[in-house]
Amino acid sequence: MHHAIEYQHFSTSTLQVGPRKRSPMGQLLRVTQGAALLKLGAHELLLTPGSHFWLCANALAAFTTLADCQHDLLACSVRVPQPAQAGWLQASPLMDALLDSLAAWSRPRDWQGPYGQRLQVVGDELHGCTISSLGDQALQDAWQALARAQPDSVAAWQTLLGTRGLEGPDAQALQDQWQLLQGIRLLRSGSTPSQVVSRLGYRDESALAEAHLQWLGAPLSPQPSATR
C-alpha cells in the first residue's frame, strides 16, 4: 500500500466470485449500481445501491459482485483512525459527494494534490461515521427468503424493489446467481460438477455449464480427476 488511504472504482459486467480472506487494512465497500453479496461470518448480506459497509482490518469475509455491479473500495491503513468494528456505515453527504468525485476523477492521482486532499477528507469523515450491525432489515429479510426459495418470496422481492426504487436485480437473476455462487464455492472446495448438480438442483451438468457461461462469461473448466 503506497498511501495511508487508497481508492478504487470497479465496474463488472459478469458475476465475480470473491475468495474468503482477511485484509490487513480496513475497507469501505460502497455499491453504486447493481448489487453485491458479502459473506461475513454466518451471514450473507446483500448490498444494493446506496449501501456502505465497513470491514475492519483482519475481518474474514468474501465479497462477490453480481453482474452489472459498480462499487467503490476505500482501503485504509491501520495508521488511519477508523472504526474498530465491521458493520453498515452511515455515510455523511460530504463523504458520498467526495466518493462520487473520486469515481469520476480524470486528473492526475497525486497524493500531494487535490486527489490526495480529497482522500484525506474522506478519511476524516470516516472516523466520525456511525457503524451499525443492522442495515435495511426488510431488504435483508426479503433477500434471505428469496435465497431459501420460500413461498411468495419472488413476489415479495419484486414489490420491495418497487418500494425502494431499485432497478434490480430481479428475483430470477438474483436466485440464478446465488445458485451459481454456491456451486462455484462447492467446486472450489473439491466437489465435482455432478455433486453440485445433485446438491443445488440443477437439471444436469450441461445446465450448470450454461449458467457458468451466462453469468461468469466463461466455460466451466474441466475438474481434475480424483487421485487414488
3-state secondary structure of 47: strand
Q: Would you state the pLDDT for residue 225?
A: 46
Q: Would you state the pLDDT for residue 226?
A: 43
Q: What's the pLDDT tens digit per position in 49-96?
A: 999 999 999 999 999 999 999 999 999 998 888 999 999 999 999 999
Q: Would you state the pLDDT for residue 61?
A: 98
**What span, in angstroms and rounded, lies between the C-alpha atoms of 21 and 27?**
13
C-alpha cell at 50: 446506496
Report which of 141, 21, 109, 11 is spatially closest to residue 66, judged by C-alpha positions.
11
Q: Cis link prior to 169 (omega < 30° from 0)?
A: yes
Q: Would you state the pLDDT for residue 108?
A: 87
**pLDDT tens for the 228 residues of the chain, in order:** 467 999 999 999 999 999 999 999 999 999 999 999 999 999 999 999 999 999 999 999 999 999 999 999 999 998 888 999 999 999 999 999 999 999 999 998 888 899 999 999 999 999 889 999 989 999 999 999 999 999 999 999 999 999 999 999 999 999 999 999 999 999 999 999 999 999 999 999 999 999 999 999 999 987 654 443
Domain ranges of the chain: 5-132, 137-216
Q: Would you state the pLDDT for residue 175?
A: 97
**Cβ atoms 68, 31 nearer than 8 A:** no
Q: Would you state the pLDDT for residue 228?
A: 34
**Cβ atoms 91, 32 nearer than 8 A:** no
Q: Would you state the pLDDT for residue 227?
A: 40
CB atoms closer than 10 angstroms to residue 219: 10
Q: Would you state the pLDDT for residue 3?
A: 74
| 36-40 vs 60-65, strand pairing mode | antiparallel
Q: Would you state the pLDDT for residue 15?
A: 98
The angle formed by the CA atoms of residues 137, 130 and 169, to the nearest 5 degrees, is 35
The superfamily in CATH containing domain 5-132 is Regulatory protein AraC (2.60.120.280)
The angle formed by the CA atoms of residues 209, 213 and 219, to the nearest 5 degrees, is 70
Question: 120: part of which helix (H) or strand (E)?
Answer: helix 114-127
Beta carbons within 8 Å of 172's beta carbon, 6+ residues apart: 154
**Cβ atoms 25, 77 nearer than 8 A:** yes
